[in-house]
Amino acid sequence: MICDICGENEAIVHVQQIMGGEVFEVHMCAECAKEKGVSLEKGSEGDFSLSQLLSGLVESFSPDADAKVITECPHCGTSITDIQENEKVGCPECYTVFRNQIEALIKEHTDNTNHKGKYPEKLRAYKAILIDKEVLKKKLKEAVQREEYETAAKIRDQIKELEHNPHSHKGHEG
């Protein structure tokens, strides 16, 4: 299998994520994995927060993931009442643990509660392959169904571009 990121080398790292019944996979060669900070040995220095990224992914596909009631962040101990009072959180995990409550707090200030700005360069390749590609595939299917072949061709080119060079994808750049 060929690496999804460089499109050249043999992939040896395989990340699989099941979201809403659909399976997303990324395959990376050793070099790309290293470049992206994905550590091949567990717990080694420079470990990239892949799990954090993927947890974000899971949630973006299943909004009611945190069904059970948690009042304190298991990672930093910050309580939800503190967060609601001060609008301050203790750690990045709080954003996952108290996802719905934080969403509501942000909503008090703005209607647009989703990030529309840039991402770190390191994450853009993941985002492009994991999400944007899937979104484009879906659009392609719809375009074909509507027999809009010109649009479909354009989308197919975009997907091709994404597969060959995820960095060049103009997703969100500030």
**What residues line the site for another protein (CB under 8 A)?**
37, 46-49, 52-53, 56-57, 59-60, 75-78, 83, 87-92, 95-96, 102, 105-106, 109-123, 127, 131, 172, 174
* Residue 119 or 144 having the CB closest to another protein: 119
**Integer angstrom CA distances of residue 46 from 15, 43, 85:** 18, 9, 35
Question: Whole-number minimum distance, CB 149 to another protein, in Å?
Answer: 32
Nearest to 132 by CA among 103, 172, 104: 172
Question: Whole-number minimum distance, CB 141 to another protein, in Å?
Answer: 23
Dihedral over alpha carbons 25, 27, 33, 39 (to 10 degrees): 60
Question: Whole-number minimum distance, CB 171 to another protein, in Å?
Answer: 11
Question: Whole-number minimum distance, CB 145 to another protein, in Å?
Answer: 28
User: Largest Cα–Cα distance in the chain?
Assistant: 54
Q: What pairs with residue 27 in β-bridges?
A: 14
Question: Whole-number minimum distance, CB 121 to another protein, in Å?
Answer: 6
* Residue 60 or 168 having the CB closest to another protein: 60
* Residue 118 or 141 having the CB closest to another protein: 118
* Residue 68 or 88 having the CB closest to another protein: 88
Give CA–CA dist 90/103, Å, rounded.
16
* Residue 31 or 59 having the CB closest to another protein: 59
Give CA–CA dist 18/24, Å, rounded.
6
Which residue type sits at 67? A
